[in-house]
Amino acid sequence: MNNEDFHAKRGKVIMELSKGKQFATWLQNLLQQPADDGLGLAQQLALQILRSFTETLSEMGSCFESAQITAVDCSISDESLKKTPVPGAKRRGCYKRRKTLDSWVIVSSTKEDGCAWRKYGQKAVMSSTYPRCYFRCTHKHEGCKATKQVQRTKENPIMYQITYFNHHTCTEKLRHLHDHIVDPDHVDPNLISFEMNIQPKPDQYSPNPTSTISQAKEEIKEDNVGMDQDLVVFGEAKSTLNDPWQDIEIGLESSGYKPEWAHIENEVGPRFDQSHEATSLHGFEEANELGDIDYLWCF
Residues at the site binding DNA, with contacts judged by CB under 7 A: 76-77, 80, 83-85, 89-98, 116-123, 125-127, 132-134, 138, 147, 149
**Which amino acid, residue 18?**
S
Q: Shortest gap between Cβ of 59 and DNA (angstroms)?
A: 22
Count of C-beta atoms within a 10 Å radius of residue 265:
21
**Nearer to DNA (CB atom), residue 31 or residue 76:** 76
Q: Shortest gap between Cβ of 90 and DNA (angstroms)?
A: 7
**Which amino acid, residue 278?**
A
Q: Shortest gap between Cβ of 76 and DNA (angstroms)?
A: 5
**Nearer to DNA (CB atom), residue 128 or residue 204:** 128
Q: Shortest gap between Cβ of 169 and DNA (angstroms)?
A: 16
**Nearer to DNA (CB atom), residue 88 or residue 184:** 88
**Nearer to DNA (CB atom), residue 52 or residue 149:** 149
**Nearer to DNA (CB atom), residue 141 or residue 186:** 141
Q: Shortest gap between Cβ of 240 and DNA (angstroms)?
A: 25
Q: Shortest gap between Cβ of 70 and DNA (angstroms)?
A: 15
Torsions phi, psi of 180, nearest 5? -105, 5
**Nearer to DNA (CB atom), residue 50 or residue 264:** 50
